[in-house]
Amino acid sequence: MLQGVDVGRQNLDSYRACVGDEVVEGLRTLAAPLRGARVLHVNATPYGGGVAEILRSEVPLLRDLGLSVEWKTISPGEENGFFKITKAIHNALQGDPRGLRDEDWRIYRETSARVAAFLRDDYDVVIVHDPQPLALPLLCGRGDAHWVWRCHIDSSAPNSTVWDRLSPYLAEFDAAVFTLGAFVPPRIPVGRVEIIPPAIDPLSPKNMPIDASLAKGVLDWIGVDTGRPLLVQVSRFDRWKDPLGVIAAYRIVKREIPEVQLALVGSMALDDPEGWEVYREISVSDTDDPDMFLFTNLTGVGNIEVNAFQRHADVVIQKSVREGFGLVVSEALWKGTPVVAGRAGGIPLQLGDGVGGELVDSVEQCADAVLRLLGDPAAARTLAAGGTVLVRERFLLPRLLGDELRLVGDLLG
């Protein structure tokens, strides 16, 4: 099945104060010839993870710009393990050498065909996010629409067997969009390739300005000691985001600074069945340490709490070993918080070389970088301020809207 996601309304004019009149006017000019264009975004989950985060902000703004935009998620039914299979494909695109069984490919195709039967064919442009709905155009027929595959994953070195199996599905698309040029896999069977990095919404409850005392109040209420140093990683419970590496780095830091605390804030996404396994592994290492906190969206940690964590933390960690982009990095930098992050995928676009924080390649480097930043809070905040400037210039939602409007405009000719 395909399920529509309800996103409410937005007015682009509210962004004038943040990005300036010129940017807003520029977007209205770009969108004017596209008024009424019927655009569908399809992904796998209405919450949890970066794609849902972006669509929730982007879809109402595109509507405000006059396009007729819908957002739908695929609901394959859990009984045949479809999302387990698509997570394995996701992992393989990120280089996991494990392949899929023929039986998995059969289920992928048959389930996709069932979902495809629900797709109407009256769109001008259909934007398909990531591998879960990738098979739709082959199975439902392309109709008159222009099809775009938006890959949010670091697919620079995919498992070649899995990539080859996906190729016939990909060949149906008119354009493919990646975050970085380096992510475009070899032998891509799509004529047009675009590079468009993601962006964060500066006005969403997760990123809106809240004052320090409110952030502190929220964390006090949650049970964190706001008088002591706090390290935070916000991310899905996913091995590529290396939560166990974060815990190992925290333990090294704790030897030097015994009062330090760690909060792992993780969301469970509908399409990520591995989340629970990773969550259980982390819970085991968490049991005897009162200074380690584990929170999820299922226990009431929502956008305002994430905002408070990212704002109040002394250091935000994002120790990914593979990362498409990592919205969380820009989210933290936007709030003026320094970030220590894995040198992976799209993360170095957002920080590095004395801007925003430090890039690391190991647990030890992560602990060293955190210790340096905790040891000199003034220098750490100055570093973070450079990251805020970079986010303002390159990673705010209006820039993303502009890039996508240009693409839709070109496709519709």
**Residues 38, 119: contact at Cβ < 8 Å?**
no
41/236 with CB nearer ligand UDP: 236
Q: Is 345 in the site for ligand UDP (CB under 6 A)?
A: no
Site string for ligand UDP, 172-191 (x = CB under 6 A): --------------------
CB of 306 to ligand UDP, least distance (A): 5
d(CA 184, CA 157): 9
Q: Applying CB under 6 A, what is the total number of residues that bind ligand UDP?
A: 18
CB of 188 to ligand UDP, least distance (A): 22
CA 73 to chain centroid, in Å, comes to: 16
CB of 325 to ligand UDP, least distance (A): 5
DSSP for residue 346 = T
d(CA 411, CA 405): 10
Q: Is 342 in the site for ligand UDP (CB under 6 A)?
A: no
CB of 73 to ligand UDP, least distance (A): 15
Element housing 148 (H / E):
strand 146-150
Name the segment binding ligand UDP (CB under 6 A); options: 222-230, 274-282, 326-334, 379-387. 326-334
85 half-sphere exposure, CB direction, 13 A CA radius? 25
One-letter identity of residue 180:
L
Site string for ligand UDP, 103-142 (x = CB under 6 A): ----------------------------------------
d(CA 311, CA 308): 5
Binding ligand UDP by CB under 6 A: which of 19, 62, 328, 347? 328
> Vertex 158, ends 154 and 164: CA angle to 5°?
130
115/264 with CB nearer ligand UDP: 264
CB of 295 to ligand UDP, least distance (A): 7
Binding ligand UDP by CB under 6 A: which of 10, 19, 41, 53? 53
CB of 239 to ligand UDP, least distance (A): 12
Provide the H-helix boundaries in 200-344. Answer: 212-222, 243-256, 274-286, 303-312, 327-334
CB of 134 to ligand UDP, least distance (A): 17
Provide the H-helix boundaries in 351-396. Answer: 363-375, 377-394
Pairing mode, if any, of strands 38-43 and 125-129?
parallel
Secondary structure of residue 322 in the 3-state scheme: coil
d(CA 274, CA 276): 6
Binding ligand UDP by CB under 6 A: which of 46, 49, 197, 245? 49
137/202 with CB nearer ligand UDP: 202
CB of 266 to ligand UDP, least distance (A): 5
Binding residues for ligand UDP restricted to 247-306, rule: CB under 6 A: 265-267, 297, 301, 306
Q: Is 154 in the site for ligand UDP (CB under 6 A)?
A: no
d(CA 19, CA 21): 7
Match 């301020």 to its residue by tokens: 385
CB of 22 to ligand UDP, least distance (A): 27
Q: Is 338 in the site for ligand UDP (CB under 6 A)?
A: no
Pairing mode, if any, of strands 230-234 and 315-318?
parallel
**Residues 154, 127: contact at Cβ < 8 Å?**
no
Dihedral, 331, 337, 340, 341 alpha carbons, nearest 10: 10
Binding residues for ligand UDP restricted to 193-252, rule: CB under 6 A: 206, 234-236
229/326 with CB nearer ligand UDP: 326
One-letter identity of residue 275:
G
Q: Is 350 in the site for ligand UDP (CB under 6 A)?
A: no
* Residue nearest ligand UDP (C-beta atom): 50
46/266 with CB nearer ligand UDP: 266
**Residues 93, 323: contact at Cβ < 8 Å?**
no
94/146 with CB nearer ligand UDP: 94
Q: Is 331 in the site for ligand UDP (CB under 6 A)?
A: yes
First to last CA, the chain: 31
Residues that bind ligand UDP (CB under 6 A): 49-50, 53, 206, 234-236, 265-267, 297, 301, 306, 325-328, 331
